[in-house]
Structure 1
Amino acid sequence: MTQSRFRSPDALLLERPVRFLLYVLGWVLLGLWQGSEGVISHRGDMHPPAHWENYVWELSSTVVLSVLSLAVARFENRFRITGPGWPRRLPIHVVACLVFSVVHIASMEWLRQLAYAAMGSTYRVGNAVEVFFFEFQRDLSTYLLLLLACALVRSILQRRRQQLRELELRQAVSEARLAHLTAQIEPHFIFNTLNAISNRMYEDVAAADRMVVALADLLRSAMNGEGGERIRLGEEAKWLRAYAHLMAERQPGLLHVAIRIDPALGDARIPRLLLQPLVENAFRHGLRSGRGRLEVDVWAEDGRLRCRVADDGVGLAADAEPGLGLGNVRERLALLYPDDHALRIARRAEGGTEVTLDMPLERDDAVASGHR
């Protein structure tokens, strides 16, 4: 990822006319405010200047400063007062400050002469040396403030870009991890299924043949289905029913599977193959004797998607540790819904194990617009 060059504030302003107009308006308002202060401060004088003169004096200064500030921003971006080697660049800014003050004073005096002439009056310039030293003190402070503002803006923009890069990197790592976790499921499932078919062939060739056909249908469905980490719940339900039928073929008439999914949730989105590892675990561990009942329920409640996988098998062993399937589900939920999901495993009072999932309910429109 290449680092983007810092663009000076004047370039950022000029790219957007509205911001540039607001920028100029800010300087004009500053001049009007300072002019009003001048009017108030001269009220007690024996011979106060005309009100318009106070505004001409201050506006002529702020108008010139509005242009010079953009030039200083561009200049500071080239000779930065921060970063490696900044002491070597300080003498350059000393000279630049002198030039800044001379240009400011000369332009300001010229504008005042034009304004006075337009009002039918004459602008009297004082002693040039005194004027320069008086104005230079103010210009020095202004120049330093502009340098500090440029450094601050650049620091904020650089920090923001760094944060964006870190977010992009974390997202890329998460997506890569999700892809890896999803890829783990499919070979694991295929190997287990092939092993089950192999064992079944010695007991019931016809059943093994039906399992091969069912597996082929599942693989065809997977290749023809939509890609991505999330799929429609309706598609996941088809896969889950086909998989459950495939597993039940190992012990025809002894394994009973009930899959109940609210039809209104057909367009809801769910992580691909999220429930399959839980169902596989129930078959391999809870119902390893080849007989029993498995129940899968999916419903919506309070804007959340609730899933339940329960069996009436041998139950959860006290020293049981999560295997590949369950660990995979945990990691994928943590990546997709950090701090916004729940996965619980419990022994059922009537025997067997129950796994419940809780996650945000997502529809097609929410996923399409990027809301997760």
Structure 2
Amino acid sequence: MTSAPALTDQTHYAGEFSGIFPMQLSGERLSGDKAMEGSYGIDFILLPLKQSNPRRMTGEILKKPLLRVSLFVLLSIPLRLMLDLSFGMIYRFYEVIRPWQEYLGAALLTVAIPELVFLLKHRINRHIPWEKSPTRRLALECLIIGFTGLVAIVSLRIIVNLLLLKPAFIKFSDEAFTAIYYLFFLVLLPAFLEFAVFLLNRWRIGLAEVERFRKENAEFRFEALRAQINPHFLFNSLNTLSSLIYEDREKAAHFIRHLSDVYRYVLENRNRETITLGEELTFIKAFVYLYQLRFDNKLIISLKIEDALMHRLIAPMTLQLLIENAVKHNIVSAKRPLNIDIFAENNLYLNVRNNLQKKQADEASTAMGLKNIVSRYGFLTPHPVEINESDTEFIVKVPLI
């Protein structure tokens, strides 16, 4: 999710739905992992409008008085036509095409009422912003702006009828219907649209927050898993080294160099989300060397990966975790050696396969390590990690990124 553009606490005109409703928009740019907060009008802050941004263009147009008035005047034409069609269905001899004075009166009404609504919204936003109490804000806006708008509409209708027109209707119900008609389209409908889009924005921000927390939780568990594995690995490596120092000093020196390579890799890449397969394999060869010195011929690890795949990406230490998992849950002995094969499949997956020979006294596994790998890759690629187990083998398919 890209961050929203920086916004100052000022009033803007927003009109994603029709280009004519005056709305209040305020917010702020937040850096890092902080979620976006603020009061948003009818703009869709989170929509990925990369190629074109109609919200920005509409906002620029509505900030210019001449263009804004022109848009409201154009709006007055369809509003007036819809009203005349309604009366045409009520009165048999009503002429749908009205004199130009009536369209002028409708234009004055359509320009004046939104400007009044905008000023009232600006004042209400100072006391009760949308994010403070959405339902209270909606109710207050409908009451204050609705009542004020109704009075303004009736007053303007009386003035227009006296100055420009002859009375078009003699029934009070006609004027009441006209006032309610303009009140709905110019006051109430924009308020409910603003409220609906505010809730939609909140929902979208809530989804983004949940996704961020899920990702942070997965990263935390992944880091905790690596921190848990590394001390065990270091403890076993030091035990192996203590034996080699007395038996074969040359092997002990090689062991120390490879051990330093392993921990250099861990320290340099612990904060990276992905790493090239070539870098991971360079590390895993040093890691495998340490394991093979520890288990001798009891552990057989083979790597069969084409050079053309070395630029592909995986999560750091994925192979180490899978090898550790295989060694932890399977018998490794001279009579029953553990075979681990690492190979690519269709240039899409990196497979780690081992023959299945579970330890008899092995406690029930929670598979937390595999779950963390699955969760980790869920944020890196749409292709899932596949885990398959049969009577004779266990295989994990890691997608190449």
With structure 2 as the length reference, what TM-score do the two structures score?
0.66
Q: Is the 8 A contact 2:221 2:372 kept in 1?
A: no
CA change 1:84–1:250 in 2 (3 A) is closer
Letter paired with 1:123? L
Is 2:223 aligned against 1:179?
Answer: yes
Distance 1:346 1:48, change over 3 A: closer
Distance 1:270-1:79 versus aligned 2 partners, 3 A rule = closer
Q: Find the counterpart in structure 1 of residue 11 from structure 2.
A: none
Amino acid across the alignment from 1:7: Y
Counterpart in 2 of 1:6?
A: 39
- From the CA coordinates, give the structure whose radius of gyration is larger: 1
The answer to whether 1:99 aligns with 2:99 is: no
Whole-angstrom CA distance in 2 between matches of 1:155 and 1:127: 41
- Residue in 2 that maps onto 1:241: 285
**Aligned residue number for residue 18 of structure 2:** none
Q: 1:94 to 1:32 in 2, by over 3 A?
A: closer
Shift in alpha-carbon separation, 1:321–1:337, aligned structure 2, 3 A: farther
State the match for 1:169 in structure 2. Answer: 213
State the shift of 1:263 in Å.
Answer: 1.6
Letter of the aligned partner of 2:332 in structure 1? L
User: Structure 1 length normalisation: TM-score?
Assistant: 0.70
Does 2:368 correspond to 1:327?
A: yes
Deviation at 1:266, TM superposition (A): 0.5
Letter aligned with residue 99 of structure 1: T
RMSD over aligned CA atoms reads 4.6
CA separation in 1, counterparts of 2:391 and 2:44?
65
The alpha carbon displacement at 1:62 in A equals 3.3
Letter in 2 for 1:104: I
Q: Does 1:269 align with 2:317?
A: no
- How many Å apart are 1:341 and its aligned residue? 1.8
Do the aligned residues in 2 keep the contact of 1:304 with 1:360 (CA within 8 Å)?
A: yes
What's the counterpart of residue 238 of structure 2? 194
Does residue 16 in structure 1 map to residue 56 in structure 2? yes
Q: Using the alignment, how far apart are the partners of 1:332 and 1:45 within structure 2?
A: 76
Contact 2:269 2:316 in 1 (8 A): no
Check 1:34–1:113 CA distance in 2 against 1; reply closer, same or farther (3 A cut): farther
Count how many residue pairs are aligned between Structure 1 and Structure 2.
344
Contact 1:260 1:298 in 2 (8 A): yes
2:387–2:395 CA contact under 8 A, matched in 1: yes
User: Which string of whole-angstrom CA distances, capped at 9 and with x for unpartnered residues, describes residues 55-84 of structure 1?
Assistant: 445444434344344345445544579949
Distance 1:132 1:319 in 2: 88
Residue number among 319, 343, 366 corresponding to 1:298 in the alignment: 343
Partners of 2:308 and 2:94 in 1: CA distance: 86
Q: Which runs of 5+ in 1 are unaligned?
A: 115-121, 349-353, 363-372
Letter in 1 for 2:151: V
Q: Which one of 30, 37, 40 corresponds to residue 78 of structure 2?
A: 30
Helix, strand or coil: the match of 1:299? strand
1:200, CA displacement in angstroms? 3.6
Q: 1:331 to 1:276 in 2, by over 3 A?
A: same
Match of 1:123 among 147, 155, 165: 165
Looking at structure 1, the residues matched to 281 and 224 of structure 2 have their Cα atoms a distance apart, in angstroms, of 23
Report the AA paired with residue 18 of structure 1. Answer: T
Amino acid at match of 1:334: S
> Against the structure 1 CA distance between its residues 290 and 197, is the aligned structure 2 distance closer, same or farther, given a 3 Å change threshold?
farther
